[in-house]
Amino acid sequence: MDKRQHPRVPVKPPGKARFRLGGQVCAAVPIANIGMNGCCIHAPAALAERLMTCPQLQEWQLVGPNLPTKLIKARVVWIGPGGGPEGAGMKTGVQFQDTPAGYTSLILRYVAMRSSSLAAGAP
């Protein structure tokens, strides 16, 4: 399941994702970790079947301090059990697609900032 080519870091303070799945807007979905090309979200269990059958996430937007906020497309690349603080829901791997100029640079800056905080012992 873990075939990443780029490191990921936890999103602190907690970040959220907002996206459109079919005709439904999904807001305030917690982000577990993030890297240059994607992230892991804790999707509610009620969305699991829809995420598997309709993996394109339209109007994807990151919400949180120091995260880029431009709307992009994203795609579900894997789903597994255990999302959320109590283990309820689904861990869901998301790959960013069609990112605009500068988007990846902002993600890299965030990852570098979090990596240095983690190396210094910050949560």
d(CA 30, CA 1) in angstroms, rounded, equals 20
Instruction: Please give the backbone phi and psi of residue 67, each rounded to the nearest 5 degrees, phi first.
Output: -100, 145
List all residues 6 or more positions away from 18 whose beta carbon is below 8 Å from its beta carbon.
Answer: 25, 26, 27, 28, 29, 59, 60, 61, 63
Q: What is the pTM of this model?
A: 0.86
pLDDT above 90: residue 115: no
**For the segment 75-108, what is each residue's pLDDT rounded down to a tens digit?**
999 999 876 665 568 999 999 998 998 999 999 9
The DSSP output letter for 100 is: P
pLDDT above 70: residue 9: yes
> Is 78 exposed, middle or buried, given 0-12, 13-18 or 19+ CB atoms closer than 10 A?
middle
What integer best gives the mean pLDDT of the chain? 87
Domains and CATH numbers, the chain: 8-111 (2.40.10.220)
